[in-house]
Amino acid sequence: MQQILVLNSGSSSLKFQLFSMPEENVLCSGLIERIGSEDAKFKYKTNGETIKVVTPILNHRIALELLSKQLLDPETGTIKSPEDIDVVAHRVVHGGKEFSETIEITKSVKEKIKDLSSLAPLHNPANLEGIIVAESIFKNAKQVAVFDTAFHQTIPEHVYKYALPNKYSDKIRLYGFHGTSHKYVSEKALCLLGKKESKIITIHLGNGCSMSAIKNGVCIDHSLGFSPNAGLIMGTRSGDLDPTIIFYLAEKFNLTLNDLNTLLQKESGMLGLTGHGDLREIEALANQGDKACQLAIKMNTYRIKKYIGSYTAILNGLDAIVFTAGIGENSTVMRELICEDLDFLGIKLDILKNNERLKTVREINDENSKVKVFVIPTNEELEIAKETFDLIKE
């Protein structure tokens, strides 16, 4: 039995789960948010009980030290020492083309993660900080990195390459993200289909959104590209747009590069269209007749339908689509609008099944639908723990 602590270190947050592997038992889990502010919050769950701790947590070191003192073993009721943790597994957003699989962290690995920070400036620096601090606290544990981009390394060259001069192609290419989520739910879908040869589209809808085309368990295309700002309309990100728009905005509105980056990543998407960043609020306002919210939902679902059509074409058919992540798992409205008028592709939703408020893996297609429609709750932390265990047991 291995004690694997999974860490997801963000710029101002720290999510964790402690697993007993290979049993896949969650011993405890938690979320520390608003790190660096005086109203930081620590939500901790163990043995079915949730504990909330509100205290100044000024940096990731304090956050991890607090976490390390709360790793309760529900079987014995005792606090685990940091020395009891066998492995700390870190989610790292960007692995570039250098990392196509889970790897034990060394000095050179840390240097490469740092070098890749220019490609994920909001994520990789925070991921690296979490690694460095964890090394000093969990001194006896192996440190392992699991990369969001790794699952998409199977995308072929004619798909990941952009039509730019070849001298730039070494660095500028489609990388893809949310890889642990797409890998986890696609494997679940494969089991539900009961066959290895399959054509699946996975749809990860949260504040960040992405889709993957997966053939026989292998990713062959993905909606996010060089950065996590391509493809679908997201909570605050624009998704696909004509690149000339950037030059127009700079010239006509006197926007700097920093202004444009902020605009496209933090002020666009559903927030920019409606003034609201939470889809639940947007859906409620749309139901009340708010035209901006109605239009934003229509734009959002239309973009997703376009990707379903294009991915069905490149897969040369379709066996299943999978909805996952916060919106994909919980928004009956989004799922219904996305699947609407896709009869030609063999997709037909069962409205009653779709409207069931369940937190489990389920099939929501009509019995006459040629394509299965699944809702599969994602579990990126478990996928990270599984990949880590597979690495260390070899």
- Return the active site residues: 148
Q: What is the DSSP-derived secondary structure letter of residue 161?
A: B
How far is the C-alpha of 129 from the C-alpha of 98, rounded, in Å? 20
Hunting for tokens 């579990």 — which residue is that?
379
Strand 103-104 and strand 218-222: pairing?
unpaired
How far is the C-alpha of 195 from the C-alpha of 240, rounded, in Å? 34
Hunting for tokens 């544990």 — which residue is that?
141
Assess contact for 174 and 151: CB atoms under 8 A.
no
How far is the C-alpha of 355 from the C-alpha of 163, rounded, in Å? 43
Residue 7: beta bridge partners?
16, 90
Sequential DSSP letters for 78-115: EEPPGGG--EEEEEES--TTT--S-EE--HHHHHHHHH
Sequential DSSP letters for 296-356: HHHHHHHHHHHHHHHHHHHHTS-SEEEEEHHHHHH-HHHHHHHHTT-GGGT--B-HHHHT-
Assess contact for 338 and 349: CB atoms under 8 A.
no
How far is the C-alpha of 233 from the C-alpha of 239, rounded, in Å? 5
How far is the C-alpha of 288 from the C-alpha of 282, rounded, in Å? 10
Amino acid present at 106? T
Q: What is the DSSP-derived secondary structure letter of residue 390?
A: H
How far is the C-alpha of 220 from the C-alpha of 280, rounded, in Å? 32
Strand, coil or helix: 55:
coil
205 burial (CB, 10 Å; 0-12 / 13-18 / 19+) is: buried
